[in-house]
Structure 1
């Protein structure tokens, strides 16, 4: 269809420049630049710079959320331990929990294990704002899971 012109269909005719109204005097002839647009809170009047979530990251996050919806309680508990280890890296208590889930296997990984591997790869590539966005999306889907996550994070305070 590229390069084709308007074709008259059912008595309609091709648009002509005279058919469109002229631009009134004093009106900008070009739209404002996207660089000049920002997120402003109407109540505070403060400009809030926010990192945009990339399309790819958003699709990755939606994919993980889709998997999450289909996981069993045991799989969600394993995911919670993984998420906790990512949230408070270096804590001995989370490292020990993570080590307890490692097993030497002589068979191919199952779908859930592959999903966790992809999740880990994606999570490592996300920035802080994107990670927070994921937690927000997860909280919308399962507030109890996120409440348990935050409680677990708080439980690591003061522990090595």
Structure 2
């Protein structure tokens, strides 16, 4: 049995003996560089963590979801068509879209049309993760509509 020797300072506190601490490993390993800690580092071969969604984007998404709750079935279907056009551009074309490109308007835009315009602007500024996040939130509100959206996207496979 070994006896540990401790020294005491002038206030009566114990001062540990260097032998009380484990020895340092013989092999020195340098800490990883910032590049190796980065999620975007190609050397790690890991999946990149999703970027956090900005506060402004979250507010935009909440706003659209709030509008969505107040829309009629017809308006929701039009919104779904708009979302489908964004998901598979060039594969879905409606008569209404064709008329819009001709600038045929016989009335002032209503609130729903203004909301769709804002939605279009916001959606274009969102990244892929933000768009996916929005779709997940929409699915929580209306799973049937989102299921219909996924079926519609699948039905466009093979179209030019």
TM-score range, shorter chain: 0.5 to 0.7
- May I ask how many residue pairs the two structures share in their alignment? 116
Please tell me whether the aligned partners of residues 85 and 98 of structure 1 are also in contact (alpha carbons under 8 angstroms). Answer: no
TM-score w.r.t. the length of structure 1 is: 0.66
Query: Which runs of structure 2 are paired with 1:1-160 in the superposition (5 Å)?
Result: 49-91=49-91, 94-96=92-94, 99=97, 102=100, 104-160=104-160
Partner residue in 2 for 1:14: none
TM-score w.r.t. the length of structure 2 is: 0.66
Distance 1:100 1:77, change over 3 A: farther
| Greater C-alpha radius of gyration | 2
Give, in angstroms, the shift of residue 100 of structure 1.
5.4
- Output the CA distance in 2 between the equivalents of 1:53 and 1:98: 33
Partner residue in 2 for 1:42: none
4+ residue stretches of structure 1 with deviation over 4 A? Answer: none
Two-structure CA RMSD over aligned residues (Å)? 2.2
- Output the CA distance in 1 between the equivalents of 2:124 and 2:50: 20
Uncovered stretches (5+) of structure 1, i.e. residues with no partner: 1-35, 39-45
- Output the CA distance in 2 between the equivalents of 1:148 and 1:114: 25
Give, in angstroms, the shift of residue 50 of structure 1.
1.6
